[in-house]
Structure 1
């Protein structure tokens, strides 16, 4: 067995010979257009207008087409080492977090709302998952989220 390994290692294989021949042939070849001056910039070609690939009923509205977004937040919300509680009823969990017009609002289960200035839209975007539905009214969204 060992003499076969030594024998194979001594001579070059057919593949090595073919690679060496290919390398020698390619040595002095230059790709087409390489080193030639580029064409003067003229009128840019306009791409043809193509209809979106999704039908309208499957398109998701962009953030600028929505009045706001909201997500449930079941656990207590801790900001700057302090647990956030509702200013009216004292609830501290089961929030709805609303993001609208670059402001963040908290809504407790009892329906009290308070603005939270320690949170921003970037925080909301990091913690919110993908939207599972869009709603025409605020009340429809509250019903969808169980509030």
Structure 2
């Protein structure tokens, strides 16, 4: 008895045969809607018209890879790993300017002392920096703009 059941199970059922035959009939066919879209695309080879950017050049902001660096003010103390960041020269611990340049973060105190901060990275800077309100030609112009 089990021998007959195994033999029947090895042969494809009637449903499987019908499915296979329908699949063979449909393999090379393309729906008429797809064919209409293909012919419409081939019949209109005219290129799309070139449209000028919607912003005039004086309103365009350079992207971050076109800038030498970005700067933001940070008035409160910076606490990293439970330690408060302090200036190595004067001991100031608030009213910082944070500079992001070439993948490094620098902090500058109100007295003008600058030191690298290796515990901060560009991702931290990007999370905390707001949108840029101005671009400057020199670093000194940027510092003047920020009041330092």
TM norm. shorter chain > 0.5: yes
TM-score (norm 2): 0.70
Judging changes above 3 Å, is the alpha-carbon distance between structure 1 residues 91 and 46 closer, same or farther for their aligned structure 2 residues? Answer: farther
Structure-1 residue corresponding to 2:114: 113
Judging changes above 3 Å, is the alpha-carbon distance between structure 1 residues 89 and 53 closer, same or farther for their aligned structure 2 residues? Answer: same
Matched position secondary structure for 1:90: coil
Larger mean Cα displacement after TM superposition, 56-65 or 91-100: 56-65
Structure-1 residue corresponding to 2:60: 59
Structure-1 residue corresponding to 2:103: 102
Structure-2 residue corresponding to 1:24: none
Judging changes above 3 Å, is the alpha-carbon distance between structure 1 residues 122 and 47 closer, same or farther for their aligned structure 2 residues? Answer: farther
Structure-1 residue corresponding to 2:83: 82
How far apart, in 1, do the equivalents of 2:78 and 2:47 lie? 51
The 5 Å alignment of 1:1-147 reads: 35-36=31-32, 37=34, 39=38, 46-147=47-148
Unaligned stretches of 5+ in structure 1? 1-33
How far apart, in 2, do the equivalents of 1:136 and 1:50 lie? 30
C-alpha deviations, 1:89-108, integer Å up to 9, x for none?
A: 11000000000001100000
How far apart, in 2, do the equivalents of 1:80 and 1:50 lie? 51
**Pairwise CA RMSD:** 2.2
TM-score (norm 1): 0.70
